[in-house]
Structure 1
Amino acid sequence: MTEVNFEGARLYAIPMRSRFRGITVREGVLLEGPLGWGEFCPFADYDDTVAVSWLATAVEQCTRGWPAPARDRIPINCTVPAVDPERAYEIVAKSGCRTAKVKVADHSDSLPEDLARLESVRDAIGADGRVRVDANGVWDVDTAVNAITQLDRAAGGLEYVEQPCPTIEDLAAVRAKVDVPIAADESIRRAEDPLRVAVAGAADVAVIKCTPLGGVRRALRVAEAAGLPCVVSSALETSIGLASQLALAGALPELEFACGLGTLSLLTGDLVPEDQSLRTVDGYLPVPTAAPTPDPELLETYAMTDPARITWWTERLARVRALFEQADWDFDR
């Protein structure tokens, strides 16, 4: 850890284009090491123990780098927040992607809005495009079964539904009652044994994110243990942190699905020069061999200025760093 310049940490705050995951500003910290920069950006509702894995990913990136890739570019899905149908159509039509991931279940009475959004997305992407939805685990089994049936119809067929319910047992129950494939996200990264998701018959697809799993190497082992086809999804990072997610997608032995790594479109800005920014082009992103370098002017533009938030992040980083050092982290375990 002495290789990481914690004293030179750079705090950022970038406004978002639409509310997503309950936030309107994305906040985080950049850390520099001998191999470049890493990003530490656990969401505010995650406790320090959970945030240790996020710090490990940043440390891996700026001190160890990543395994060799198996491919040089990744197919990407566009991400549609809980917006009105007109805006949803615009996002998909402009994306260049042939797969769209649509946020649903944003509030308890959202189903009519979700159905209208999906109809618009299908119009935009065409009959041969793929549409998937993400409910972030808010439904119970009966609600999920009812909603999935209607959402599948409105979308003209869903590729899969991501995390319709919070528990592995509920995912398995839903999967037994619907024809639409089920993807596990939170259930994969929160399970002590990722294989349990597959053994329980809870999912057809595993959604993995190296940021909360502790780095690319650990995420690759989780993917192997899960024993399911994998999709790599972002944790709403800037290009600095997104590079790790792309490195994971590039290193997977097999990649059958488009990945949810086009999320820079949700932010109003980035921290790297435009020619290094990891924005989707024609539905694909390149697999980087190293993280991009932040632009000094952009670091100033998006520097965190609220004294209370600066204190909050500085203290949080210090606490999580202490926990990380106590854990004596093994990236290869």
Structure 2
Amino acid sequence: MSADALPPLHDLLATARVVALPLVTRFRGIDVREALLFEGPEGWTEFAPFAEYDDDEAATWLAAAIDFGWNPAPPPRRDRIPVNATVPAVDADEVPAVLERFPGCRTAKVKVAASDQTLDRDVARVRAVRDAMGPEGRIRVDANGGWNIDEAEHAIHALAPFDLEYVEQPCPTIDELAEIRARTKYMGIPIAADESVRRVDDPLAVAAARAADLLVVKAAPLGGIRRALDIVERAGLPIVVSSALDTSVGLAMGAHLAAAVPTLEYDCGLGTASLLAADVTTSPLLPTDGAIDVRRVDADPALLDRNGADGDRTAWWLARLERCHAVLSDGTA
């Protein structure tokens, strides 16, 4: 984002609100999702990079939030987005209750390779999803780069009997993705890249290296809808639009990205409001009949108050907002 297009910091601070939303089930190592929201000329928007991200990386999320709040979304090609259920690293007997929170979803993404899990528990979880969804359900697994190459090969063999749609980010690096893709190509299970798109200097490098069969794209960490669309066009690979455990305001940005892409072959990871025990709106973007609507979401003042973060966390987020705004002002993000 150019400095000329950047609204003044005081415009962001004027409506900035920090929330702390409890999760239904522990996910990605957290029980509470924090986010900072503010309102622009086009409506409410969200700045919610995970706490461990440094300011340079987080500033890209701020650029996305500003773009969504200050600029009209691209013209939509569709008004409903099919979404997948998301199954955290829960025990197998908890799977049916998780899937019930995603009515009508024909696809499930199952978290695997968590540091506190074993492959046996991953297999049991995926088996439980297959049993619950039946033979027509689609199952994809997401390792978040948690395996080395040999572990990934072993795990993919163990999970292959459950008819996987694809394996997302089995290994952390692009070179490792290329190697595991080569080793398992004969099995016909596609490899998807997520972190190797959004957490690298060049989001097109994984496509150039032919290290993945499809890309997972997320509007916020890629700098906004327009930048994500440019990456999709230049990569030339099928894509899945996903989210980062956003509030419904943040999910609206992802929905507008999914609405604007030319081709949408896969169900999208935009149903994660179902993992929140609270939200910031009275009209959350929850799946109905396996899809969510494409629309902007207004934050509700009463819910912002009810779910507001404490003073220390609010101060932390406001300071982070100020630092990331300075990064964008310097033109280094």
1:293 pairs with one of 290, 295, 298: 298
Give 5+ residue unaligned stretches, structure 1.
Answer: none
Structure 1 counterpart SS, 2:81:
strand
Q: What's the counterpart of residue 282 of structure 1?
A: 289
Amino acid across the alignment from 2:328: F
TM-score for both structures, normalised by structure 1? 0.93
User: When the two structures are aligned, how many residues end up with a matched partner?
Assistant: 322
1:276-319 deviation digits (Å, cap 9, x = unpaired): 2100001011112xx211111111110112x3212211211111
Q: Which 4+ runs in 1 deviate beyond 4 A?
A: none
Q: What's the counterpart of residue 318 of structure 1?
A: 322
Give 5+ residue unaligned stretches, structure 2.
Answer: 1-6
CA shift for structure 1 position 9: 0.8
2:171 pairs with one of 154, 165, 184: 165
Structure 1 counterpart SS, 2:164:
coil
1:92 pairs with one of 88, 99, 112: 99
* Change in CA separation of 1:94 and 1:328 when aligned onto 2, cut-off 3 Å: closer
Structure 1 counterpart SS, 2:26:
strand
Contact kept, 8 Å, 1:4 with 1:59, in 2: the verdict is no
Taking the TM superposition and a 5 Å limit, the aligned residue runs for 1:74-93 are 74-93=81-100
How far apart, in 1, do the equivalents of 2:116 and 2:151 lie? Answer: 11
1:59 pairs with one of 57, 61, 66: 66
Higher relative contact order (CA 8 A, sep 6+): 2
CA shift for structure 1 position 130: 0.3
Contact kept, 8 Å, 1:75 with 1:259, in 2: the verdict is yes
Q: What's the counterpart of residue 111 of structure 2?
A: 103
Amino acid across the alignment from 2:69: C
Q: What's the counterpart of residue 129 of structure 1?
A: 137
* Change in CA separation of 1:55 and 1:195 when aligned onto 2, cut-off 3 Å: closer
Moved more, 34-43 or 186-195: 186-195
Amino acid across the alignment from 1:77: N
Contact kept, 8 Å, 1:188 with 1:226, in 2: the verdict is no
Contact kept, 8 Å, 2:84 with 2:269, in 1: the verdict is yes
Residue 40 (1) aligns with residue 40 (2): no
Q: What's the counterpart of residue 197 of structure 1?
A: 206
Taking the TM superposition and a 5 Å limit, the aligned residue runs for 1:108-123 are 109-123=117-131
How far apart, in 2, do the equivalents of 1:75 and 1:142 lie? Answer: 34
CA shift for structure 1 position 66: 1.1
CA shift for structure 1 position 81: 0.2
CA shift for structure 1 position 173: 0.5
Residue 217 (1) aligns with residue 226 (2): yes
Amino acid across the alignment from 2:241: V
Structure 2 counterpart SS, 1:4:
helix
Q: What's the counterpart of residue 215 of structure 2?
A: 206
Amino acid across the alignment from 1:31: F
How far apart, in 1, do the equivalents of 2:23 and 2:152 lie? Answer: 29
Contact kept, 8 Å, 1:4 with 1:63, in 2: the verdict is no
Contact kept, 8 Å, 2:101 with 2:274, in 1: the verdict is no
Q: CA RMSD in A?
A: 1.5
Identity value in percent: 52
Q: What's the counterpart of residue 303 of structure 1?
A: 308
